[in-house]
Structure 1
């Protein structure tokens, strides 16, 4: 029995995987790559979602109620269909393409 290595192997090469490229494995660090994401002022973006009834600012207005409620005279202007919220959604909202 011989324990010699084949001539073409590199002893420093280590174990090689045949599973494909490392980048093809989805991890928390790369799960966003190649996907669209909402812009920051979009109703689903980092800033825009704060103005929804579930967000920090919109939720506080909902708690106060009255004219600040999402159906109130002031609050309805901040919805995506309202004059202020709609303008923000049209001008700064939408999806942003992420590169690979």
Structure 2
């Protein structure tokens, strides 16, 4: 007696089928501290911390004395980006 288990007749491997559980598998993602990562993004003008500093303005703005140090070209932000940023392998 043969049972049908909904086997896909077209062949291929199960890993070829994208599901919500496997949607991000194999994708290149930024590290957490990268300017595009989960933590580093918060320090950009679009993030919670950098956005608040931009609203306050003055020395905390991205071109201010303090704020420019936290950009990817600044001394603090640049060091973090160089040492802890980049993409996950």
Q: TM-score, normalised by structure 1?
A: 0.81
Q: 2: CA distance between counterparts of 1:52 and 1:16?
A: 48
Gaps of 5+ in 2: none
Structure 2 matches for 1:13-92, cutoff 5 A?
A: 14-19=5-10, 20-92=12-84
- Structure 1 segments, 4+ long, off by >4 Å, are none
Gaps of 5+ in 1: 1-9
> How many residues are aligned here?
88
Task: Point out the structure with the larger strand share.
Answer: 1
1:12 aligns with 2:18: no
RMSD: 1.3
Kindly state the Cα deviation for residue 16 of structure 1 after the two structures are TM-superposed: 1.8
By relative contact order (CA 8 Å, sep 6+), the higher-ranking structure is 1
Q: TM-score, normalised by structure 2?
A: 0.90
Range with bigger deviation, 12-21 or 69-78: 12-21
Kindly state the Cα deviation for residue 31 of structure 1 after the two structures are TM-superposed: 1.8
Range with bigger deviation, 88-97 or 12-21: 12-21
